[in-house]
Structure 1
C-alpha cells in the first residue's frame, strides 16, 4: 500500500478515479514518464508521490514536476506555497542557516539571506590557496557558523597595552661579537617534556590569560630544571585577576603578569577552564582560588582546588616581567637561553583560516567591502624559529608559535609566521619572565 497524506487519500477515493487494485500495478514501466528511473515514485515532503500517466488529476499525489516534466504543460493547480532548498520545500517564513547567515522564505517565495561576512569564508580559502602566499587555508570546523565579527569578538581578547606600558623599558640582549644564532631552533627540542601543548580558549575572549599562563608554565618548568612542570590555570587569571580586567571579554598583559607575580596561580588541573560561552547572560564565574602571603615573598592557596579530584593546590609565581627589544636577533637569543616568550599580534580575517605553512596577511579581501576586513589584538607564545626555501627559490624566515585555539587548528595548534619584518606586529611587544623558583622547590616534585 502506498503512503499519501490522508486528505488526499479521502479525496482520491471519493473521486473514484481508479480502483485501488489497479493502483498496485502502477509501477509498470510503460506508464512511467519517459526518462525517469525512479519506478514512477519518489519520497516528497514525507509522503510518496507518483510520476506516472495516472497523475493527470487535479487532486494529486503526483511529483511536483509531473506536469512540466511528463506532459510539458503548467500544473492545473497552484503548487505548495513555499521555497525550495536542498530538495525540500520550506513554508513561507521558514528558515535555514547557510554557514553564519539565516535565510528566510519570503511571501514572494524567494529566499532572503543575511549578508554577514562569515568567519569561515570558502571564497577566501579558495583565493588564498590559488595564490602564491606561502601558506594554506582551510575550514576549521569550530569556526563554522560564526560571523567574522563574532570571531574578532570572542576568539581573541588581548587589549592593546596603554602607551605607558608600550613605552616600558626594553631589556637589550647583547649578542657577543662573532656570535651566530642557529638557523633553526625549537624550544621543545632543547627542553623536552617542559614545553606544554596549546590549550583552547573556546569562545572566551581570554587570550590575555591563556598566553600568559602558557608562557609562565614553560618558564617555571625550565627555570626549575624540570622539578616543577605545571600547566598553569588560565581560569585562575580569568576569574581572580579582576582589577581592570574583563575575564572572557578581554584583558591586559601587564595586569596578568602583575597578578602572577604578586598573587600567583594554581595548576590547570586544580582550577580547570570553565569555558564561558559567548553571549552567555549572567555574571562571570566567581574566583575560587585566592592566595595569601607566607613570608619570603611566597604565597599559599587559601582554599582547596575547585576540581575535587585534585589535591595539589600549590601556588606558582614569577618575577617581574620584562620587555625585549623588537630586533628579531634579540628575541631569538632570549628564546634560546630562557625559553618561550609572549608576543602581541594583530589578527586579520584570513588568520582564522590558517591550516599550515608560513603565515603572512594576504591581500585577498582588499577588493571587498570594508566589513570583510576586520582585525583585533591577540597574544600568543613564540616557541622557536626557522627558515624555509620556497619552490620559487625565495627563503622565508619564520617564527613558530603556539596559539590557544586548540590542537585541531593550524599545525597541531601551532603556526609559523614570517620573521624579521614585524608581520602583524608580532615583534612590536614581546615579553619574557622568570619563574620564581627557590632552593626548596628544587627538592620536591
Structure 2
C-alpha cells in the first residue's frame, strides 16, 4: 500500500476542505434571497466602503449582515436577483444601483420593511411598497381627540385614558365591557312599588350608603372583557343588601361567576344576560361567595366553551337551600348559599329612589353607556355632544347595569347646582373615581332612572345568630 507522508495528507485534506468550503459558499450564495425584493433600504449605509479590499474578484468572506440576511461586496454578488450590499454599485462599480432603493417606512426612529406593521392604539398600520403607512380606520375606545374635547369643554367632568381600554376598538368596548340585555317590554312594565314620602318629609341633600352602613358596602369588582355586567351588578347589590338586612351577621361578596356559569336559562354568560333572570336565580337557586367561586375572567374572542357550572344547590325545606358541591376554590370550605326575596321595581321619581336607597341599601340601575363614558375619570358625568362632529361610527352605545350607592349635589363655578347619584361600576378600582362614578340626578341621564330594582336579602332568625 502506498504510504503518504503525513504532512501531505494533511495538505490534501485541507485542500479538500477548502474546495468543499468554496462550494458550500457558492451554494449558499446562489440560494441567498434577493435582497432587493425585500427592498434595499439604508442605501446610504457604508458596507463595501468599510471593507475596502472587497470590491475585487471573488471572496466569500466579503459578506456582511444586512437586515437579517447577508449581503456581499465581491464582484460575484448576484446583480440580477441581488444579494449585493446596498452601496456595492456606487462604491465598487461607480454606477447607480440598477433598481431604486426602497426605503421601507419610518416610524418612531425605526425603519420598517415593506409590509411591516405596528399598532397605533387599536389600529394596525402596514408599510406599503411606495414607502407610506396605511392604517386601519377603526374608532378606538380610548380616543385622544375626544378626551381633549371633553376636557376643554365645560361639561362638569374630566376624561382620561384608562389603560385597560388602550388598544381596544370602540366596537369591542361596547361588545365586551357591558353585557346587560335591555329587559323585554313586559319586564320594563313591571309593577312599580311606590315608596311614599310622608307629608313634609325632607330627604338629606347628600347620602352615602357606606357612611350609614360602614363595612357592609362592598367595593367594585372588575368584569374584565366579559360582557357580564348583568351578573356583576346583581351580585354587587345582593351582597350589600344581604349584609344590611342581616344586620352585619353575614357580609358576603357574592360570586358573579356563580351566576355567569350556572344561570344559563336564556342567559349567555360573558356574552350578555338579563336582570330579571339573574334575580330569579338568586331567589330560587342562590349563589355562594366570590371566595368560594372566584371569577375566571373569560377573555374576549375566546372560542372555547364557557366554563361549566361547578356549584349546584338543593332545597332544605322552608325555601332554604344548601350547596351540593365543594367550593371550586379548593382553599375555601364555606360554601353557604345566599338567597334573596323577589326583586321589585321602584318608581322613576328620584325622591322614591332616594328614600329606598336610604332605608334599605344600594339599588340596581340599568343605564345606556355611550362612547364617552369609557373615558370618565372624575366629576359629574353626563353624555357629551363631542362625537356629533365626527362620522357616525364614533357614536356607539349599549346597555349596562350598575349599583347606585348614594347621592349629593355640587355648586358649579358658574353658580348652578348640579345634583348627582353616586354609583359603583364593575370596571375595577382604577377606572373613574376609585371604581365609582357620579352621574347627573333627576334628569334620567342615560336612562339611569328608568329601570331601578331593589331586593331583600333572604335572612331568617337562624342567620342572625352566627356569622
TM-score exceeds 0.5: yes
Residues 136-192 of structure 1 deviation map (CA, whole Å, 9 limit, x = unaligned): 000000000000000000000000000000010000000000100000000000000
CA shift, 1:427, in A, is: 0.1
Match of 2:145 among 105, 123, 134: 123
Mean Cα deviation higher: 73-82 or 407-416: 73-82
Structure 1 residues 93 and 190, CA gap change in structure 2 (3 angstroms): same
**Separation in 1 of the partners of 2:321 and 2:465?**
18
Residues 110-131 of structure 1 deviation map (CA, whole Å, 9 limit, x = unaligned): 1110000000000000000000
Q: Contact 2:59–2:74 at 8 Å: present in 1 too?
A: no
Q: Secondary structure at the match of 1:388?
A: strand
C-alpha RMSD over aligned residues = 8.1
**Separation in 2 of the partners of 1:71 and 1:226?**
89
**Separation in 2 of the partners of 1:74 and 1:176?**
94
**Separation in 2 of the partners of 1:17 and 1:140?**
63
Q: Secondary structure at the match of 2:18?
A: coil
Q: Secondary structure at the match of 2:17?
A: coil
Q: Contact 1:258–1:320 at 8 Å: present in 2 too?
A: yes
Residue 9 (structure 1) aligns with? 9
Structure 1 residues 372 and 50, CA gap change in structure 2 (3 angstroms): farther
- TM-score w.r.t. the length of structure 1 is 0.85
Q: Secondary structure at the match of 1:55?
A: coil
CA shift, 1:394, in A, is: 1.0
Match of 2:108 among 62, 82, 86: 86
Structure 1 residues 239 and 24, CA gap change in structure 2 (3 angstroms): closer
> Larger Rg: 1 or 2?
2
Structure 1 residues 116 and 180, CA gap change in structure 2 (3 angstroms): same
Structure 1 residues 19 and 285, CA gap change in structure 2 (3 angstroms): closer
Q: Contact 1:45–1:89 at 8 Å: present in 2 too?
A: no
Structure 1 residues 297 and 56, CA gap change in structure 2 (3 angstroms): closer
Mean Cα deviation higher: 101-110 or 140-149: 101-110
Flag as ranges the 4+ runs of structure 1 deviating above 2 A.
1-25, 28-81
Match of 2:406 among 349, 363, 384: 384
Q: Contact 1:365–1:373 at 8 Å: present in 2 too?
A: yes
Residue 361 (structure 1) aligns with? 383
CA shift, 1:102, in A, is: 0.4
CA shift, 1:17, in A, is: 31
Residues 323-348 of structure 1 deviation map (CA, whole Å, 9 limit, x = unaligned): 00000000000000000000000000
Q: Secondary structure at the match of 1:242?
A: coil
Residues 236-263 of structure 1 deviation map (CA, whole Å, 9 limit, x = unaligned): 0000000000000000000000000000
Residues 192-217 of structure 1 deviation map (CA, whole Å, 9 limit, x = unaligned): 00000000000000000000000000
Are 2:379 and 1:346 equivalent residues in the alignment?
no
CA shift, 1:271, in A, is: 0.1
Mean Cα deviation higher: 200-209 or 104-113: 104-113
Structure 1 residues 56 and 344, CA gap change in structure 2 (3 angstroms): same
Q: Contact 1:4–1:49 at 8 Å: present in 2 too?
A: no
Residues 57-81 of structure 1 deviation map (CA, whole Å, 9 limit, x = unaligned): 9999999999999999999984454
Q: Secondary structure at the match of 2:277?
A: helix
Q: Contact 1:324–1:429 at 8 Å: present in 2 too?
A: yes
Residues 265-290 of structure 1 deviation map (CA, whole Å, 9 limit, x = unaligned): 00000000000000101110000000
Match of 1:177 among 199, 208, 222: 199
Residue 311 (structure 2) aligns with? 289
- TM-score w.r.t. the length of structure 2 is 0.81
**Separation in 2 of the partners of 1:433 and 1:363?**
35
Q: Secondary structure at the match of 2:389?
A: coil
Q: Contact 2:180–2:230 at 8 Å: present in 1 too?
A: yes
Structure 1 residues 120 and 4, CA gap change in structure 2 (3 angstroms): farther
Residue 162 (structure 2) aligns with? 140
Q: Contact 2:285–2:321 at 8 Å: present in 1 too?
A: yes
CA shift, 1:230, in A, is: 0.1
Q: Secondary structure at the match of 1:193?
A: coil
Mean Cα deviation higher: 13-22 or 366-375: 13-22
Structure 1 residues 10 and 416, CA gap change in structure 2 (3 angstroms): farther
**Separation in 2 of the partners of 1:4 and 1:63?**
45
**Separation in 2 of the partners of 1:11 and 1:99?**
63
Structure 1 residues 89 and 334, CA gap change in structure 2 (3 angstroms): same
Q: Contact 2:241–2:457 at 8 Å: present in 1 too?
A: yes
Q: Secondary structure at the match of 1:288?
A: coil
Q: Contact 1:206–1:251 at 8 Å: present in 2 too?
A: yes
**Separation in 1 of the partners of 2:6 and 2:125?**
31
CA shift, 1:109, in A, is: 1.4
Structure 1 residues 112 and 177, CA gap change in structure 2 (3 angstroms): same
Unaligned runs of 5+ in 1: none
Residues 272-322 of structure 1 deviation map (CA, whole Å, 9 limit, x = unaligned): 000000010111000000000000100000000000000000000000000
**Separation in 1 of the partners of 2:386 and 2:8?**
54
Q: Secondary structure at the match of 1:96?
A: strand
Unaligned runs of 5+ in 2: 26-49
